[in-house]
Amino acid sequence: MPVPSTTPDWAFEREHWRRGHFRVAGVDEAGRGAWAGPVTVAAVILPGTAQDYPFRDSKQLSAAQREVYAAEVRRVALSWAVEHAWPEEVDRLNVLGATHAAALRAVARLAPPPQALVTDYLRLRTPLPLSAPPKADALSYSVAAASLLAKTERDRLMAELDAAHPGYGFAAHKGYGAPAHRAALARLGVSEVHRRSYAPVARLLRGETDPTRLL
């Protein structure tokens, strides 16, 4: 199975290791930009052995690769957890606030607990030492591992929502604003798993049904 050329490393984790924080959790999310379904956040603590892994940013991989590598993450991780912020929470807190809340829930479930965090630009309110560089899912093994769990778990949930809400095409577009999704919204209306605070959905709720304007 080919591995993408962009290779993460342990640079961010090493900064924490030097300070005696050896259980470093990587945190990443999937689904922030979608119009429907949850924002899914994963937290992963990998063994602090600085060995190479095949883990990569989930956006660089095929669906089949993601499933294989996600299973490997679950096998080797010292601890991992996945949490979801569902549309009601997204609408109530806004998407960034809901993402932060789900991330903190995932971190709280890790056992053994982390001593430091590396996130993909999520500046969480936490007493733990935190590194939050942009593009961390492509740069850090721990964050790449979290990216794989968040993406595969959210894709699984969107397939379930597709079966529960036929016609929207959730399994294909994962709730993002694809043309097929815009057309389905105009045809079927807003479902219970859509984010009502998002502008395209809010327009429909106001009675604007032209799919070309759902942008």
Separation between Cα atoms, residue 103 and residue 108, nearest integer Å: 9
Q: Is the distance from CB of 119 to CB of 99 less than 8 angstroms? A: no
Q: Which amino acid is at 30?
A: A
Location of structure tokens 């009675």: 207
The terminus-to-terminus CA distance of the chain in angstroms comes to: 37
Residues annotated within a binding site for a divalent metal cation: 28-29, 120
Cβ contacts of 212 within 8 Å, gap of 6 or more? 182
Residues in the chain: 215
Residues annotated within a binding site: 28-29, 120
Question: E strands along 86-137, which residues?
Answer: 116-119, 130-131
* Strand duo 130-131 + 116-119: pairing: parallel
